[in-house]
Amino acid sequence: MKKHNVTAIIPARGGSKGLKHKNIAPLLGKPLIYYTVKAALSAENVDRVIVSTDSKLIQQAAIEVGAEAPFLRPNHLANDTATPESTLKHAVEWLEENENYKTDIVVYLQCTDIFRKRFMIDHLVEKLKEDDSLDSAFVAHPTHKKFWRRDNDGYQRMSSKTYTPRQKGNLYLREDAGIACATRTEVVKQEYRIGENIYILENEDEYSMIDIHDERTLYLAEKALEREKKINNLDYYY
């Protein structure tokens, strides 16, 4: 099998309105960023773990928990309008231009999504290694709920008017790429997080719905993690 350089990139901006210093907020005695860095470092298919930040505090915290943080983001990628896609592209190109390091597969991970199971990152990377036709492989949460869309014309139904039994109804998938998303570098360089040809890992874990962005969701994550640690659930990283 062809050798692929796989780089996990963790965006961790310093500014946060909902929770100050969110990405290094303490959670069970560790900075929040620890849990995502730990997951990336533990993955056998990941060669490098890069944290992209504009904050010296986060940069130092990332290095202390084992990640690389070789640069600080430019100002135009440090504001509210900066997208994860532009951040990933910048990191890949920075490594090429400054270290002559070429990444073949990018693994996108969000600090605020900590409930990723141990097998997920390696599983997604393996899918891309095994199938050259795939652009991306990512986690998604399946649901039978009905969905509506709000646009300039008001509310639009996105699913059938008919309410069918759960087992027979259409299954919808909520993208949870922040938990784990592996994408080929050529797609990332076009500023896309996910390409056209995809593999989806369906994840029914309700904890994955916890996206830490304020005091309330930090509290929920803490209680969930405490419970799983108490019963010695080895699915997660502590």
Task: Give the pLDDT confidence of 69-110 residue by residue, as tens digits.
Answer: 999 999 899 888 889 999 999 999 999 999 999 999 999 999
- Measured CA to CA in angstroms, residue 66 lies from 32, 39, 112, 201, 206 at distances of 14, 11, 18, 27, 29
> Is 123 within 8 Å of 107 (Cβ atoms)?
no
pLDDT grade, residue 168 (50/70/90)? Answer: low
> Is 227 within 8 Å of 210 (Cβ atoms)?
no
Lowest mean pLDDT among 5-9, 109-113, 155-159: 155-159
Give the distance, in angstroms, between the CA of residue 61 and the centroid of all CA atoms in the same chain: 19
Please give the Cα distance from 157 to 225 (Å, whole number): 36
pLDDT score for 144: 79
* Domain map (residue ranges) of the chain: 6-140+175-230
pLDDT score for 235: 85
Query: Of the ranges 45-54, 76-85, 145-154, which is most confident?
Result: 45-54
Tell me the two tokens of residue 213. 């962005």
Q: Hey, which bits of 58-208 come out as E strands?
A: 105-108, 136-143, 148-151, 154-157, 172-175, 181-184, 198-202
What number is the average pLDDT over the span 204-225?
A: 94
- Measured CA to CA in angstroms, residue 37 lies from 132, 177, 203, 232 at distances of 27, 16, 21, 21
- pLDDT at 238 > cutoff 90: no
Please give the Cα distance from 215 to 160 (Å, whole number): 37
**Tens-digit pLDDT profile for residues 52-80:** 999 999 999 999 999 999 999 998 998 88
pLDDT score for 184: 98
Report the share of the chain in percent with pLDDT over 90: 77
What number is the average pLDDT over the span 128-133?
A: 97
pLDDT score for 217: 96
Q: Which residue has the higher pLDDT, 88 or 229?
A: 88
Q: How many CB atoms lie within 10 A of CB 57?
A: 13
CATH of domain 6-140+175-230: 3.90.550.10
| Secondary-structure percent of the chain, ordered helix, strand, coil, rounded to 5 | 30, 20, 45
Question: Residue holding tokens 């796989």?
Answer: 6
Please give the Cα distance from 179 to 110 (Å, whole number): 6
